[in-house]
Structure formats: C-alpha cells, structure tokens
Amino acid sequence: MSLSPIGYLLWVASGMLLALIVWALIRRALVREVPVFSLYVVFQLFRCLGLAVVYRMGRIEYFYSYWTAQTISAVLGFAVLYELYRKMFRSYDAIRQLGATLFAGAAVMLLAAAVLTTAFAPGADAAGVVKSVVLLERSVRVMQCGLLLFLFLLSFHFGLAWRNYLFGIALGFGIFASVELMAIALRSQLGGVAAGALALANSAAYDCGLVIWVCYLLAPEPAPQYRGVVQHNDLEKWNQALLEILQR
C-alpha cells in the first residue's frame, strides 16, 4: 500500500486547501450562513489528517477508517445539498416551501435510479464487502450528481439568482461528484487495471472542487454587472470620433 508522488502531492494539497476553506468561512463569517457545509469542510479536514495518521498503522485499520469516514462524508454531503436547496428557495415567498419538497421528491426518484443501476451493476474488480461498498458509493454519487443537476435545472427554469458563495459550493461539489461518478463507473467496468489512474483522476477532481470553493469563498460578493448602460468613456469616444469626422 503506497501512494505515488503525484497522489501524495494531491493529498497534501487537499489538506492545505481544506484549511484555507475553513479560514475563508470564518473570515467571511459564513459559518452561520452555511453551518452544514462548514461542518462538512471541518470533517473533511479532520478526515484528511486522521487518515494520514491511520495510513501508517496498517492496511486493515486504514480500510475500516477510510470507509467509515466515507460513509459519514456521504451523509454530510446530502445534508449540504439539502442546505443548498433550502437556501436557494428561502428568499422567495412564492416558492419558500418548494425547496424541501423538491429535494425529497428528487431524492426518492434518484434513490430508485441508484437501486436500479446497482441491480444491473458489473463488478469486475471486487467481491463481497468491497463490491457492496463500491456499489453503495456509486449510488451515493448518482444521487448527489442528480440532485445538483436538478437544482441547476430548477434555477434555469425559475431564473433563480444564486449568491456567489452558494453557487461556488454547488459548482465545486458538482464537478467533484461528476468526475468521481465517471471514475467509479469506469473502475467497476475495467477492474483493477485502471484503478491507479482513476484514483489519481479522482483526487485531482477533488482538489479541483476545493480550488473552486476557495476561489468563491475568498472572493467578495461581486457588484452586479449591468449591460446596456452607456459608459461615460464610451460617450467620450463617440464625441472624439465625431470631432474627427467633422474636422475632415
């Protein structure tokens, strides 16, 4: 059991990025705004550090610690998505109650889809408990991707305006969940042959999601950009151009 230099680098980077996100959440006083997401990030940071310690203890210890942490992470991940749904719809009186209802409806449908894909799942690389865990992980990612996809489609449909940091959280989560879903699907098809490369791709996507979170959480809420406004300097340019024409 050993990590490649790139894998090690990605692991260290994820720890640093998570620490930076915690700092950004505290600095911008967003912990109260998104308490579940804050808890999720703190948990991820402890998981990253904790697994680094357990990694040196042995294979069995690492296996059980990893999958326990993964289960807690999945539960917290759903809680973050629920928080996003509630916050997105809370601002509007007309659809205030809709967030929780749509989340529940979408979750039930996606659970059915996840159960169906599990029933028809190939399992080239593992047997017994590992196979079950991999299939469960895949179902979780199907549901997370689906819930985020649904949230984005709803926001297109209703024309919902996202706060910048909420959008960043959803985008980072979505990128990571989508790439991980692709990796899990490929791993179950290809078996152990591509496991190393897919694990690296997974870690890279995770770090990419963290970078998105860092960018959106550190950036202040931008002032709206208006279109169709004639800028003062535009008028000066027009004036200059007209003067030039008149002088010819």
Partner 1 sequence: MITTTLLIVFAAVAVLVLVRGARWHHRPVPALQALEEYTRPVDLAALRNLIDPAEEDYLRERLPAGTYRAIQRERLRAALEYVQRTAYNSAILLRVGEAARRDPNPEVAAAARALANDAMRLRVHARLAMLVLYGRIALPGARISVGRVTDIYENLTQGLVRLTRLQDPAHATRVSAAV
Q: Rounded to whole angstroms, how far apart are CA atoms 156 and 211?
A: 25
Among residues 24 and 147, whose Cβ is nearest to partner 1? 147
| Sequence-ordered list of residues with C-beta below 8 angstroms from that of 31, at least 6 positions apart, any chain | 25, 38
Q: Rounded to whole angstroms, how far apart are CA atoms 129 and 18?
A: 30
Residues that bind partner 1 (CB under 8 A): 91-95, 117, 120-122, 138, 142, 145-146, 148-149, 152-153, 155-156, 158-162, 167, 170-171, 174-175, 177-179, 181-182, 184-186, 188-189, 221, 224-230
Among residues 4 and 164, whose Cβ is nearest to partner 1? 164
Q: DSSP assignment, residue 193?
A: G
Among residues 5 and 228, whose Cβ is nearest to partner 1? 228
Torsion, CA 63, CA 56, CA 74, CA 117, rounded to 10: -40
* CA angle at 207 for the pair 205 and 212, rounded to the nearest 5°: 95
Smallest separation, CB 137 to partner 1 (Å):
12
The encoded tokens of residue 160 equal 């919902």
H-helix or E-strand spanning residue 142: helix 128-158
Smallest separation, CB 30 to partner 1 (Å):
16
Among residues 1 and 94, whose Cβ is nearest to partner 1? 94
Among residues 37 and 165, whose Cβ is nearest to partner 1? 165
